[in-house]
Amino acid sequence: MIYLTMPMCYHTSQMGIINLLPENLINQIAAGEVVERPASVVKELIENSIDAGATEMIVDIEDGGRKLIRVTDNGCGMSREDALLSLQRHATSKISTVTDLFNISTLGFRGEALPSIASVSRLKLTTVPKGSISGTSIQIDGGKEVEVKEFGGAVGTTIEVRDLFFNTPARLKFMKSTTTELSHITETITRMAISYPSIRFIYNHNGSPIYNLPSSKDLLSRVCGMIKEEEKSFLPVSLNSKINVSGYVSGPDINRPTQKSIYIFVNGRFVRDRVILHALMDACRTVMEKDRYPLAFLFLDVPPSDVDVNVHPAKSEVRFKKTDEIHRAVYAAVSEALKGWTEKKTSGQWPVVSGQRNEFQTPDSNYQERVMEAIGRYAASNSSEFGVRNYPIPSPTLPLKGREFFPRLQGEGQGEGGVVEFFSSLTVLGRVGGTYIVCSTGNDLCLIDQHAAHERIAFERLKKTYRDSRPESQTLLIPEVVDLPQSEGMLIGEHLEVLSRTGLEVEHFGGDTFVIKSVPAALSDKNIRGLVRDIADELAHSGRTKSIDELMERLFSRMACHSAVEGGDYMDPREIAALLRDLDSIDFSSNCPHGRPVFVMLSQVEIEKMFGRR
Ligand code: ADP
Ligand code: MG
């Protein structure tokens, strides 16, 4: 017998228990999806202004958007009737039939944004339609109409959003610091400004200008002004087919550790799309260092009927009818753009790309399994003092039998004084592949990846100096001046104290300019600009979600990439000996920065098996 107890509890009388929710509650529920944070309000308002044909936009923000978000445009404006309707749910001028829904050429179409925003803030809309000198002003507080009056002014619309989430305390709690919210807003405006270079954007925070971008015919000059890179670092992308692909991609020497600087637009809309990203990375694979991403601004013109934008309320995802066509077009366009570089690289003019592993062939069919098992054992013993243990451990190309040889991997005999001289006792036989140091224990073979080893040593040193609060820094003779894009500069600015604890001393010079005075001693990177950029990228990527210890571990990992020796760099015997000594001071029981092995062992037994002796 089945007891249906739960539903019975509700039906205590004969009356129905289902209610139609009040309009304002519906709007607040929709706001949960559309209005995640101040930046989402900015995005919706700017989209509306663009759809209204504006050529100029002023965005004023106060207190990271908590206090005020105001977007003023010179678009077509609205009549009194339309202005009142625009604040109603599902009221839109952009579509009217189902056919329209599958042929969208505007940024908005759901008729949800204004009523949603109005339900969770104090919103004032003032608008004057084209050809008129008077218009309408409407004040709505928490979704309730407070005042509607006549208004005189220039053609266009201003929407002022104050005290966002004032009536939804649970949402208010989720707001982050002013800097964090502001960096999200800046990123949103950056995307819009890249997508619409012909629109003039003025953007102020607490009355200070952040962007003042004149209307421009030239995408590249607008982009480079914002991201603070040089125009010559970019290659034009252009493919005319059923799907047009245009934009720019950076050459391989300008790259980033995350995908943050890849901007993809489909029919003018910024989207995050795996297919396009995959095609882009596929095309860059031959020239780009492993684990690095290019800077890219790709614009796809896809027939509106071939793309579904109604996938998510925030409209940042799209669905394509013909995914393979999209992939092919992007791959072809980017490959063509990078052709010049690829040719140079294969003709040997470009340095060997580090981090690519050689394939090791073996006739043993159980080989892969045994390797995976060994990795499994190795990975299971890993634990980090910061509590991070989810770095992927990729399969090495040789059996990883470190634990059997190396007592410290079992977590024994460690400690400050208890240095086990394993690496320094090895006999160095030579180097192969310009990157791997070949050593012998007498019976077994040990291969060390010189770049990974340096990275690991730098990582551990950074961690130690941070933990001991004794940063070892190297003062720069001539301080380095770096201009950073707005959103990155804000994040660096917020973390100056934390960075100084690693030995990286950065000062805000004013505006977008930062001065680097010293770098951690564990690093001796010449590309300090690149280092700071990578750090900003990491802060943007994980700074908001991770605890400080996790964040620091990620930062050390980024910084360690900038340690001195690259794969392919020559090392003399003295340098190799020093590297081996340094490796002896490393505690290998914790995870390494990228999960790549620093060394692999091949035991005598293993070697004998390969030769069919066992
Ligand atoms: P959607 O953009 O999906 O249509 P919104 O709620 O964002 O829905 O806006 C509702 C309507 O209000 C729009 O369809 C448009 O007609 C009008 N509107 C909104 N913002 C503006 C603006 N800045 N200028 C002119 N009309 C606007
Ligand atoms: Mg809209």
Residue nearest to atom 8 of ligand 1 (CA): 111
Angle at 198 between CA 250 and CA 115, to 5 degrees: 105
- Whose CA is closest to 255, among 483, 529, 68, 23? 529
Query: According to the model, what pLDDT value does residue 449 have?
Result: 86
Query: According to the model, what pLDDT value does residue 14 have?
Result: 62
Q: Which atom of ligand 1 is nearest to the CA of 107?
A: 2
Where residue 485 falls (left for φ over 0; alpha for ψ -120 to 50; beta otherwise) is beta
What CATH number has the domain spanning 219-346? 3.30.230.10
- Whose CA is closest to 515, among 480, 567, 475? 480
pLDDT per position as a tens digit, 429-479 = 988 888 899 999 888 888 888 888 888 888 888 888 888 877 778 888 888
Mark the ranges of the chain whose per-residue pLDDT is less than 50. 1-9, 345-418
Q: Kindly report the CATH class assigned to 379-614.
A: alpha beta
Gap from CA of 440 to ligand 1 centroid (Å): 72
Q: How far apart are CA 267 and CA 195, in angstroms?
A: 9
For the chain, give the mean pLDDT.
80
Gap from CA of 110 to ligand 2 centroid (Å): 7
Gap from CA of 47 to ligand 2 centroid (Å): 6
> Cβ(263)–Cβ(194) under 8 Å?
yes
Q: Which residues contact 367 (CB under 8 A, 6 or more apart)?
A: none
Residue nearest to atom 13 of ligand 1 (CA): 92
Q: How far apart are CA 570 and CA 363, in angstroms?
A: 33
Ligand 1 close to Cβ of residue 46 (< 6 A):
no
pLDDT per position as a tens digit, 67-123 = 999 999 999 999 999 999 999 988 888 888 888 878 888 888 888 899 999 999 999
The best mutation among 42, 49, 114 to test binding of ligand 1, ranked by most ligand atoms within 8 Å of the C-beta, falls on: 114
- Whose CA is closest to 428, among 601, 573, 605, 604? 573
Q: Which atom of ligand 1 is nearest to the CA of 91?
A: 10
Count the neighbouring beta carbons within 10 Å of the beta carbon of residue 488: 26
- Strand, coil or helix: what is 552? helix
- Whose CA is closest to 71, among 159, 182, 139? 159
Ligand 1 close to Cβ of residue 114 (< 6 A):
yes
Ligand 1 close to Cβ of residue 138 (< 6 A):
no
DSSP run (H or E) holding 7: helix 5-10
Count the neighbouring beta carbons within 10 Å of the beta carbon of residue 122: 18
Query: According to the model, what pLDDT value does residue 420 have?
Result: 62
Q: In 228-322, where does DSSP find H-type helix? A: 274-284
Q: Which atom of ligand 1 is nearest to the CA of 44?
A: 7
Encode 37-56: b = buried (16+ Cβ within 10 Å), e = exposed: bbbbbbbbbbbbbbbbebeb
Residue with tokens 């180097």: 431
Ligand 1 close to Cβ of residue 130 (< 6 A):
no
Q: How far apart are CA 112 and CA 86, in angstroms?
A: 9
- Token duo for residue 116: 């949603």
Where residue 411 falls (left for φ over 0; alpha for ψ -120 to 50; beta otherwise) is left
Ligand 1 close to Cβ of residue 73 (< 6 A):
yes
3-state SS, one letter per residue, for 10-26? HCCCCCCCCCCCCHHHH
Residue nearest to atom 23 of ligand 1 (CA): 49
The best mutation among 58, 70, 86 to test binding of ligand 1, ranked by most ligand atoms within 8 Å of the C-beta, falls on: 86
- Token duo for residue 544: 């908001």
Q: Which residues contact 611 (CB under 8 A, 6 or more apart)?
A: none
- What are the boundaries of each domain within the chain? 23-213, 219-346, 379-614
Q: What are phi and psi of 76, to 5 degrees?
A: -75, -15
* Ligand that lies nearest to the alpha carbon of residue 54, given by its number in the listed order: 1
The third-level CATH classification (topology) of the domain covering 23-213 is Heat Shock Protein 90 (3.30.565)
Q: How far apart are CA 108 and CA 351, in angstroms?
A: 47
Q: Which residues contact 95 (CB under 8 A, 6 or more apart)?
A: 101, 104, 109
Query: According to the model, what pLDDT value does residue 435 have?
Result: 85
Distances from the Cα of 286 to the Cαs of 325, 336, 345, 565, 593, in angstroms?
22, 13, 9, 22, 24
